[in-house]
Amino acid sequence: VADALGLALVPDSPVLCGLAATSPAPGLRERLSGRRAHCVATLTRAGRVVMREAGEVLFREYGLSGIVSFNLSRHARPGDAIELDLAPEVDAWEVDKLVADRPGDAHALDGILDPTTAEALVGLAGGAQAGGLAWRVAPLVKGLPFRVEGLADTAHAQVTRGGIDVAALDARTLAARGHDGLFACGEALDVDGACGGYNLAWAWASGMSCGASAARHAATAHANATAPSKDARAARAGAPTPRKDAPSSPERTLS
């Protein structure tokens, strides 16, 4: 409908969904698939930080899912880098010391990481028996790298980005400019937010505003359509109704 009316549109796309991403080693995504981690994720582009998000990540065979990944999906582009700090409560020195103090122990990271994740990172760093394991595994714990390929699992995306360009509407009433009586709200507009209830709040708030504006418009239109004419009001008040063929000036009366 908006397209047919010529309203400015922003192409729609899914958002708040998983991210397809390559891992630092073949098979790591499959090995970690289904495991969860509370972490701090940093999204970078050309070496510059785009955003940082703390929360839960769910490892999937295609890459990353979970609330953190959903929020990153609003900003991530193919080629961006993501680093996961899997133990934000401890620093790299503490991780290094923990592993160094337990040489040859395959479970040295247990207690700060999920055991399956810990085992996978120890293996990625060369194995429990490898020399210098501590200084190789600590950077993986504090910054496990992934490379964004694009969005994933879009069939289960929570919202849709795009729609009617907000510039095409009156921000106060959500009325479409140049289209009397047309209002829009919710996901029909190019408005999206992070996880946490913001999209639902926008749907409700914009729906209430849009509905109230439409009701006021309808009431005004009805009042205008049913309002008596000036002549009818005058007649109802007992005043004489001027004849349409009556003289319009004293000069014509005299003549």
- Give the tens place of pLDDT for each residue, 163-178: 999 999 999 999 999 9
User: How many structural domains does the chain have?
Assistant: 2
pLDDT score for 253: 44
> Residue 243: inside a domain, yes or no?
no
pLDDT score for 250: 45
Average pLDDT, the chain: 89
* Distance (Å, whole) CA 138 – CA 97: 9
pLDDT score for 148: 98
**Mean of the pLDDT values across residues 230-236?**
63
Nearest-CA neighbor of 25 among 153, 144, 150, 115? 144
What are 59's two structure tokens?
């490892």
> Residue 203: inside a domain, yes or no?
yes
Which residue is associated with the tokens 């070496």?
47
Choice between 228 and 125, residue whose per-residue pLDDT is larger: 125
Per-residue pLDDT at 234 exceeds 70? no
Per-residue pLDDT at 254 exceeds 50? no
pLDDT score for 129: 84
**Mean of the pLDDT values across residues 52-71?**
96
Per-residue pLDDT at 251 exceeds 80? no
Q: What percent of the chain has pLDDT over 90?
A: 73
> Residue 58: inside a domain, yes or no?
yes
Q: What is the pLDDT of residues 123-134, one digit of tens each?
A: 998 888 888 888
Cβ atoms 40, 52 nearer than 8 A: yes
The CA distances from residue 129 to 117, 123, 125, 163, 194, in Å, are 18, 10, 10, 56, 44
pLDDT score for 238: 63
**Do both 121 and 203 map to the same domain?**
no
Local structure of 238: helix, strand or coil? coil
Q: Which residues contact 251 (CB under 8 A, 6 or more apart)?
A: none
**Do both 112 and 42 map to the same domain?**
yes
Q: Which residue range(s) make up the domain with 192?
A: 1-13+160-238
CATH (domain of 197): 3.50.50.60
Cβ atoms 13, 44 nearer than 8 A: no
pLDDT score for 242: 56
Domain boundary among 135, 155, 175: 155
Q: What is the pLDDT of residues 192-220, one digit of tens each?
A: 999 999 999 999 999 999 999 999 999 99
**Mean of the pLDDT values across residues 172-195?**
94
pLDDT score for 193: 95
